[in-house]
């Protein structure tokens, strides 16, 4: 059996002279530690450690443009290293169907702006903006009562309208906050621009058509050269509800941490909530190591549940 070091942060295993560190937040951590406790042989340990890598590579090879190899994502043979590719690997490890994100990254790779390529997916996560199965994304736009654009009043935004202008007619300087080009936004920007006598429509955008993400308003709006109007937010001015956040947003959900009482064995109320699985697991591991709370409750264990009440991690 291989030598290993088990700490509060994870476990490091030495197999045939190679060192492998598995963080305590990773999906295979519990399976690996159980195998070590049962004195599994090197072959079984190696299979557990490499299962995710092989699975990721198998899934991404379904794309004729994207490949995963040796911890890096390649687009047409060239390394593609940005926040979106980092999240691609994380999300796969967390059990998500990453097919929409694979298609998103393929489209994003056709965007000529390196700044947009590096930062667009973080913008989408920040705004809780969902991807479509085709790899595009949905966002908002405030328009006039007659569905014309607010700025010029010359572009119709009725449902079904597809709008496009030359990319060089859109200001690509993200340090310039208000400038020429089509604008779409996340939910948090709407109060700054919408008017009670107008409408809020839903736009589908190809990531290749994003030109700039201005730095004002905490990265909640963007300039694009094309979009398609696919719907309207009925009753926005009465309810102010973020209907796009009600759609599945990849990588986000409600993860709740519960303590299991040492003596009674019952389950506590929600101790903490997180959007991301990895953040919830990290906090659960810390609570487990602390062993209790400020009220004197002793935890016999800690569990993380998803929004459907299923236990997705236990410590």
Q: 207 and 164: one domain?
A: yes
Q: What is the pLDDT of residue 137?
A: 94
Confidence (pLDDT) at 139: 94
Specify if 158 maps to a domain: yes
Inside any domain, residue 305: yes
**The total number of structural domains that make up the chain:** 3
Same domain, 37 and 143: no
Contact yes or no for 250/130 (Cβ under 8 A): yes
**CB-CB contact of 255 with 304 (8 Å):** yes
For residues 135 and 152, state if they share a domain. yes
Are 211 and 156 in a shared domain? yes
**Domain boundary at 60, 81, 96, which?**
60
Final residue of a structural domain among 229, 246, 263: 246
Is position 105 within any domain? no
Q: What pTM was computed for the model? A: 0.68
Residue 223, CB half-sphere, CA atoms under 13 Å: how many?
Answer: 23
Q: Let me know if residue 204 belongs to a domain.
A: yes
Structure tokens, 22:
């598995």
CB 176 within 8 A of CB 130: no
The answer to whether residue 102 sits within a structural domain is no
- Give residue 75's Cα distance to chain centre: 20
The answer to whether position 104 is within a domain reads no
Question: How remote is the C-alpha of 98 from its chain's centroid?
Answer: 10
Considering the domain architecture, whether residues 139 and 240 belong to the same structural domain is answered as yes
Chain segment 236-264, per-residue pLDDT in tens: 888 888 888 765 555 556 788 888 887 66
Residues in the chain, pLDDT under 50? none
Residue 67 resides in a domain: no
**Does 107 map to a domain?**
no
Q: What is the pLDDT of residue 227?
A: 98
Q: Which of 246, 270, 298 is the last residue of a domain?
A: 246
The beta strand positions in 174-276, using DSSP E, are 182-185, 199-205, 210-212, 221-224, 226-232, 255-261, 267-274
Contacts of 192 (CB under 8 A, 6+ apart): 217
Domain span holding position 241: 114-246
CB 122 within 8 A of CB 184: no
pLDDT confidence of residue 166 = 96
């Amino acid at each position: 059996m291989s030598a290993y070091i088990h700490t509060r942060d994870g476990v490091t295993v030495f197999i045939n002279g190679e060192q492998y560190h598995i963080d305590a937040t990773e999906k295979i951590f519990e399976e690996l530690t159980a195998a070590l406790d049962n004195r599994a042989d090197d072959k079984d340990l190696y299979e557990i450690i490499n299962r995710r890598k092989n699975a990721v590579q198998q899934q991404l090879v379904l794309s004729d443009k994207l490949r995963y190899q040796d911890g890096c994502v390649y687009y047409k043979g060239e390394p593609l290293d940005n926040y979106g590719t980092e999240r691609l690997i994380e999300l796969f490890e967390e059990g998500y169907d990453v097919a929409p994100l694979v298609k998103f990254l393929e489209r994003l790779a056709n965007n000529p702006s390196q700044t947009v390529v590096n930062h667009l997916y973080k913008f989408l996560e920040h705004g809780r903006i969902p991807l479509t199965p085709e790899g595009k994304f949905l966002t908002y736009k405030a328009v006039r009562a007659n569905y014309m654009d607010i700025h010029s009043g010359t572009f119709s935004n009725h449902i079904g309208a597809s709008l496009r202008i030359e990319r060089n007619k859109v200001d690509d300087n993200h340090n310039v906050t208000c400038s020429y080009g089509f604008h779409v936004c996340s939910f948090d920007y709407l109060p700054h621009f919408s008017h009670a006598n107008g409408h809020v429509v839903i736009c589908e955008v190809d990531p290749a058509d994003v030109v700039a993400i201005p730095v004002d308003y905490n990265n909640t709006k963007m300039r694009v050269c094309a979009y398609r109007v696919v719907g309207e937010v009925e009753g926005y001015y009465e309810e102010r509800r973020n209907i796009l956040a009600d759609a599945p947003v990849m990588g986000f959900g409600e993860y709740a941490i519960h303590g299991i009482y040492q003596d009674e064995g019952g389950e506590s109320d929600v101790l903490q909530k997180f959007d991301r699985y990895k953040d919830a697991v990290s906090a659960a591991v810390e609570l487990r190591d602390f062993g209790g709370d400020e009220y004197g409750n002793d935890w016999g264990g800690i569990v993380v549940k998803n929004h459907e009440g299923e236990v997705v991690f236990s410590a």
